[in-house]
């Protein structure tokens, strides 16, 4: 073939291609050509319209990296494998348009020749163009600017679609402003509208980003929390918002107080589609209005029971604190070189009039979440100092370790309070040790570092509790004036058999020694464990092998009867 012939052929081919691409561009269906790896090599205009993306944003990209979900497949790669086998796949998809809309489509994915796939997208998103809906703003509420009910349905469907087959809950929360009609009637609609607007803003500021917040109608708002691991997280956010909403709104120089009621339904337990979930959240909201206890209810009773138990525990704890139903037990800690007692850890017990002794595992968390821990923690510190003084007065120089919660470390008056308690009880602070977990330290590094150095200046020592269970980023140890690492008892239990635990425990001992700190093993229950720990030169230990936590009087008796030697500070 001579050059002229070749030129003619190329021109012909180009013309043909030009015609083909013109046809493609005028088709309503979005067309995408993919290479073997699923990379986009060509798209038509309709596809740009469906996704809101430009040529540049698409060429060379893998189709699987676009925010599109393929019905029945968790990944696009799986789908490609299927098409490789069966030549063609037809199904539904969901995607997010660049403007945040959800688009839906029917797709045929076809295997071309061996190196090519063709995807044909039929846009089924409500059969109206995105521009149209944008222009008419039919998806947004004009007063609050939030997505309206229609967009809520779309988005919720999409979020449920995305959550399919994954662990976790999608939370649907129905909020209703109590007596909003009264506000409208007495203050006028203009103020009512402004209140709705501020209310919407408060919703936005209280829920994490990624939350879908919409105005359902009137004074009703729906919030959707995508994939949460625990139902408790939803409860925390909802109760937090209800509290926040009770702060006054300032509108046109008027101070307006409102209350809100919420109903919560969870995907998948309370429903699998938007209609059911919204209806059940609405029912739960109406129940909450009747009960008027906490301002919110879950649709499922199990969760309501759990929450009402928490409520009664919280109020019982308050009463218990007033009635002094708490006491401290002490667990002695031993020096592994000399077998002397080096101190004792104070562990709180609730002496419940009906239920007997309740362990801290049952109530500390609730105390921490409700901030009761501040007063409870102060009570513990005061009691520890009194008890410590009691031992000192008996000629027993026992050092006492006390557990401190993260919340207490965020109290800017913590050191001051502690100093006052020490003074009032005439306790020598050198006999006091504070136990803090790694996570508590990391929560508020700067404040914690300041408090620790103030404690240090008072002569108080500091131990890191449950070491190895959370951060174990050794870096931070340099920044905190720490004296001791306590190896969590979960590593001690199987220390004789589990190679991981052996490695962790021995590493912690080595780290402590390299940093000039002491190491204490918790939860030692057998002689074998003790021998092992001695072999690895662990400094101190506590556990049922020596003694369980016991009341003060028993500890005193034990020390005197067994003539235990006490290591003075």
Q: Where along the sequence are the contacts to ligand C2E (CB under 6 A)?
A: 331, 347-348, 359-361, 364, 377, 380, 403-405, 465-466, 489, 522-525, 542-544, 549
CA distance 224 to 564: 61
In the complex, least distance from residue 539 CB atom to Ca ion, rounded to whole angstroms: 16
Residue number with CB closer to ligand C2E (348 or 385): 348
Q: Any residues with CB less than 8 A from the CB of 145 and at least 6 apart, and which? A: 197, 200
Question: Minimum distance from CB of 418 to ligand C2E (Å)?
Answer: 14
Locate 450 and state its tokens: 């300041």
d(CA 342, CA 546): 13
Say if residues 286 and 342 touch (Cβ distance below 8 Å): no
Say whether residue 411 binds Ca ion (CB under 5 A): no
Nearer to Ca ion, 214 or 437 (CB): 437
Q: Collapse the DSSP code of 505 into the 3-class scheme (helix H, G, I; strand E, B; otherwise coil) and give the result.
A: helix
Characterise 126 by phi-psi region: left (phi > 0), alpha (psi -120 to 50), beta (else).
left
What is the phi-psi region of residue 326: left when phi exceeds 0, alpha when psi lies from -120 to 50, beta otherwise?
Answer: beta
Which lies closer to ligand C2E via its Cβ, residue 130 or residue 464?
464
- Tokens 């050059």 identify what position? 3
**136: number of Cβ within 10 Å:** 10
Backbone angles phi, psi at 82, to 5 degrees: -60, -45
Q: Examine residue 466 and tell whether it contacts Ca ion (CB under 5 A).
A: yes
Tell me the closest approach of the beta carbon of residue 429 to ligand C2E, in angstroms.
17
Closer Cβ to ligand C2E, 266 or 364, answer by number: 364
Q: Which of 123, 219, 282, 465 binds Ca ion (CB under 5 A)?
A: 465
Q: x/- binding map, residues 478-517, to Ca ion, per CB under 5 A?
A: ----------------------------------------
Our CB check for Ca ion shows the closer of 235 and 465 to be 465
Closest approach, Cβ 499 to ligand C2E, in A, equals 21
Nearest distance, CB of residue 521 and ligand C2E, angstroms:
10
Hey, which bits of 252-381 come out as E strands? 254-256, 260-267, 296-298, 326-335, 341-352, 356-358
Question: Would you report the helix, strand and coil content of the chain in percent, each value rounded to 5?
Answer: 45, 25, 30
The option from Ca ion, ligand C2E, none interacting with 405 (CB < 5 to 8 A, set by class) reads: ligand C2E
In the complex, least distance from residue 391 CB atom to ligand C2E, rounded to whole angstroms: 18
- When asked if residue 435 is in the footprint of Ca ion (CB under 5 A), the reply is yes
Q: Quote the least distance from Cβ 523 to Ca ion, whole Å.
A: 8
User: What kind and span of H or E run contains 433?
Assistant: strand 432-437
Binds 19: which of Ca ion, ligand C2E, none (CB < 5-8 Å by kind)? none
Interface positions with Ca ion (CB under 5 A): 403, 435, 465-466, 522
């Amino acid at each position: 073939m001579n050059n002229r012939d070749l030129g003619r052929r190329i021109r012909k081919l180009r013309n043909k291609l030009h015609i083909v691409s013109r046809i493609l561009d005028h088709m309503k269906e979005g067309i995408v050509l993919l290479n073997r790896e699923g990379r986009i090599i060509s798209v038509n205009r309709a596809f740009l319209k469906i996704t809101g993306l430009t040529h540049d944003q698409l060429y060379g990209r893998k189709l699987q990296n676009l925010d599109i979900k393929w019905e029945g497949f968790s990944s696009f790669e799986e789908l490609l494998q299927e098409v490789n086998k069966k030549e063609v796949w037809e199904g539904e998809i969901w995607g997010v348009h660049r403007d945040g809309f959800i688009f839906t489509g029917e797709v045929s994915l076809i295997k071309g020749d061996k190196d090519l796939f063709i995807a044909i997208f039929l846009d089924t998103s409500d059969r109206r163009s995105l521009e149209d809906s944008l222009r008419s703003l039919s998806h947004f509420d004009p007063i609050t600017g939030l997505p309206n009910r229609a967009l809520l349905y779309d988005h919720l469907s999409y979020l449920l679609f995305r959550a399919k087959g994954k662990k976790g809950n999608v939370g649907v929360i129905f909020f209703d402003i109590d007596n909003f009609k009264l506000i409208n009637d007495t203050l006028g609609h203009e103020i009512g509208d402004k209140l709705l607007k501020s209310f919407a803003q408060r919703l936005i500021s209280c829920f994490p980003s990624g939350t879908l917040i919409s105005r359902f109608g009137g004074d009703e708002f729906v919030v959707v929390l995508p994939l949460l691991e625990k139902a408790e997280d939803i409860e925390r956010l909802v109760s937090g918002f209800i509290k926040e909403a009770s702060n006054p709104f300032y509108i046109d120089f008027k101070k307006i107080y409102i209350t809100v009621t919420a109903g919560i339904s969870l995907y998948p337990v309370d429903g699998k589609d938007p209609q059911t979930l919204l209806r059940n959240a609405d029912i739960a909201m109406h129940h909450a209005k009747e009960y008027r206890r906490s301002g919110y209810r879950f649709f499922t009773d199990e969760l309501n029971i759990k929450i009402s138990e928490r409520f009664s525990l919280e109020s019982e704890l308050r009463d218990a604190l007033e009635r002094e139903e708490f006491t401290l037990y002490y667990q002695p800690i031993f020096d592994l070189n000399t077998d002397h007692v080096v101190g004792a850890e104070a562990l709180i017990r609730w002496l419940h009039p009906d239920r007997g002794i309740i362990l801290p595992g049952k109530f500390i968390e609730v105390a921490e979440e409700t901030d009761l821990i501040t007063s409870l923690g102060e009570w513990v510190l005061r009691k520890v100092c009194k008890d410590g003084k009691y031992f000192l007065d008996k000629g027993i120089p026992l050092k006492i370790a006390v557990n401190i919660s993260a919340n207490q470390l965020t109290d800017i008056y913590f050191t001051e309070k502690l100093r006052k308690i020490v003074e009032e009880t005439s306790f020598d602070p050198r006999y006091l040790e504070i136990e803090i977990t790694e996570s508590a330290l990391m929560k508020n590094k700067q404040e914690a570092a300041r408090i620790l150095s103030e404690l240090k200046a008072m002569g108080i020592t500091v131990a890191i509790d449950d070491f190895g269970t959370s951060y174990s980023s050794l870096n931070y140890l340099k920044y905190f004036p720490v004296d001791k690492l306590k190896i969590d008892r979960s590593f001690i239990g199987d220390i004789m058999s589990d190679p991981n635990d052996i490695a962790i425990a021995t590493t912690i001992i080595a780290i402590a020694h390299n940093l000039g700190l002491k190491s204490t093993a918790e939860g030692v229950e057998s002689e074998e464990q003790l021998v092992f720990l001695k072999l690895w030169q662990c400094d101190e230990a506590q556990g049922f092998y020596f003694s369980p936590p016991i009341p003060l009087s028993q500890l005193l008796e034990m020390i005197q009867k067994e003539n235990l030697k006490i290591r003075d500070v």
